[in-house]
Amino acid sequence: MAELKTLKDLKADNQTVTKAARDFVNSLLDDKSFVEMDTYLKGESLADSSAGEGVVSGMGRIDDQSVMIFCQNPAVMKGALGNLHLKKIKKCIHQAVLNDIPLISVIDTQGVRLDEGMAALNGFAAVMAETYELTAPHIAVIKGSSYGLMSYFARYADIVVMLDKAVMATTSPLILNAKAGVDNKPENYGAKANLLSGACDLAVKNEAELKAVIRQILRLVDDKAETADDANRVSNKLNADTDVKAMLDEILDKKSFLELMAGYGEEIVTGVGTLGGMTVGVVANNSKIDGGRLTEKTYRKIERVSAFCDNFGFPVVNFVNSQGVAADAAKEKNGLTDAVFAVIHNYVSLEYKVAVITGSAVGAAYVALASKDLGYDYVLGWEGADISVLDGVQNAEICYTDEIAKAKDKEKARAKLAAQYKEDVTGVVHAAQNGLVDNVIAPGATRPYLIALLQGMK
């Protein structure tokens, strides 16, 4: 009877201290599907009420699909990382690896338990090594605080989602701000700040939004997205000047696009959506911001979405309208050359890729985003698009120097001669005649054309 009473008390204490974390896990999963692992695990130094080692972990289902999930519990030592805590996380990841099922990591920690020192650091190294073995999707959710090592772990995930009031930093903001001599403001490390720095992919306001986003991601990865949108729908609204997000809304299945890293590197829009129910990655130049030029930030966005698609066998569709590379002294110092090289290298290794040249494809942007010789499976061009080494005005200034010099209205002459050069030399029809573009189509026909193409590539 004494043992039963002890177990009863232990269970009651455990239920109390883990309730918030367990409720959060259950809120993300299908009703009554959670099966917990290592419920009463605890180190000798922790009180009985801390059974579970500050982590709630186990298996469950989302849309009837099996997943592994762990949620750090800040009610136990503020979710601090200890050796057993990390072994429990590693075991959860290992089960995801063994069963080839998605992993949901819910992070809420203030850092490492200092008294466990090297054991905790090595425990974290083991977690990172196990994470490398994952082949199914890994979604990291920053629920509360993510200070120190778990911030690096989060970036290992395929998608990082932050709740609106969560914070993430490489160490405690107290330390960071003390070194910088600024006030300790949570908003400096919150969801918005991490979106703008490119450290997270998505931000959500509440648990309901989080639940919907996780389901959307898993449906996209599982290629189970359903759509009632007409595969043959055409749009008369599209042209080279159409806002990039409006363009994607017209071409992709309605309400299917999940934009990633919004607000970071805004010269380009990236994300995942569907075309005729087929999952695709999207890379689209935003020509209204610095001509859609490539920068070190746009590279990070491209690399992130293309790696996600390559991991799970989805094609990437580029919508190209770029004036080339954003070359200036400041960007050169920020590693622009390496970034542009990395974009090109990234696309060489990408297995499935399609390009639609919607406007101008200039210089290195053309090479990286639309060149058939880089291995693109198919390249489409919109009527009126062009491919050139330099932008239109630069072409005119070099090729028609004398004519511009003699003109009374030099700006008008530049514009006219740039248009003439495009028509005579760089227009997409010339590219098609030289085998650089597979077909030239009206913008409105892009959606049905891409769907037919992707169905043929399957």
Which residues fall within 8 angstroms of residue 401, CB to CB, at 6 or more apart?
none
Res 375 pLDDT > 90: yes
**Nearest residue to 14 (alpha-carbon basis) of 51, 60, 59:** 51
Average pLDDT score over residue span 47-75: 86
Which one has a higher pLDDT value, 405 or 368? 368
Mean pLDDT, rounded, for 146-166: 94
Q: Is the pLDDT of residue 72 over 90?
A: yes
The pLDDT value recorded for residue 180 is: 55
Give the pLDDT of residue 439: 97
Amino acid at 9: D
Comparison of pLDDT for 51 and 375, the residue scoring more: 375
Higher pLDDT, 182 or 191: 191
The angle, 0 to 180 degrees and rounded to 10, between the axes of the packed helices 363-370 and 336-349 is 30
Q: Which residue has the higher pLDDT, 300 or 223?
A: 300
Q: Is 60 exceeded by the pLDDT of residue 69?
A: yes
Q: Which residue has the higher pLDDT, 158 or 10?
A: 158
Residue 227 pLDDT = 85
Q: What is the pLDDT at residue 188?
A: 77
C-beta atoms surrounding 165 within 10 Å = 13
**More confident: 186 or 390:** 390
pLDDT digits (tens, 9 = 90+) for 281-298: 999 999 999 999 999 899
pLDDT at 48 over 50: no
Residue 285's pLDDT is what?
Answer: 97
- On the 0-12 / 13-18 / 19+ scale of CB atoms within 10 A, 243 is exposed
Averaged pLDDT, 270-280: 96
**In angstroms, how far is CA 206 from the centroid of its own chain?**
20
Q: Is the pLDDT of residue 397 over 90?
A: no
Average pLDDT over residues 326-352: 80
Is the pLDDT at 43 greater than 80? The verdict is no
Q: What percent of the chain has pLDDT over 90?
A: 64
Q: Model confidence at 452, in pLDDT bands (50, 70, 90)?
A: very high
Q: How far apart are CA 201 and CA 271, in angstroms?
A: 9
Q: Which residue has the higher pLDDT, 115 or 431?
A: 431
* Domains in the chain: ranges and CATH: 11-217 (3.90.226.10), 224-385+427-457 (3.90.226.10)
Sign of CA dihedral 215, 219, 221, 226: negative
Model pLDDT, residue 31: 96
Q: What pLDDT does 117 receive?
A: 80
pTM, rounded to two decimals: 0.89
At 325, list the tokens.
């590379």
Examine the pLDDT at 1 and tell me if it is beyond 50: no
Report CA Rg, the chain: 26
Q: What is the pLDDT of residues 212-265, one digit of tens each?
A: 999 999 999 987 777 889 999 999 999 989 999 999 999 999 999 999 999 999
State how far the Cα of 160 lies from the Cα of 234, in Å rounded to an integer. 34
Q: Which of 40-54, 260-274, 397-411, 424-438 has the highest mean pLDDT?
A: 260-274
The stretch 150-169 carries a mean pLDDT of 94
| Residue range 100-155, pLDDT digits in tens | 999 999 999 988 888 888 888 999 999 999 999 999 999 999 999 999 899 999 99
Question: Which residue type is seen at 80?
Answer: A
Question: What are the CA-CA distances from residue 447 to residues 250, 444, 456 (Å)?
Answer: 8, 7, 14
Q: What is the pLDDT, as a whole number, of residue 150? A: 93
38-47, 113-122, 290-299, 365-374: range with lowest mean pLDDT = 38-47
Q: Is 112 exposed, middle or buried (0-12, 13-18, 19+ CB in 10 A)?
A: buried
Q: What pLDDT is recorded for position 55? A: 93
Q: What is the mean pLDDT of the chain?
A: 87
pLDDT in the model for residue 173: 59
272: which strand partners? 258, 281
Q: In whole angstroms, what is the distance from residue 5 CA to residue 398 CA?
A: 89
- The tokens for 130 are 């196990």
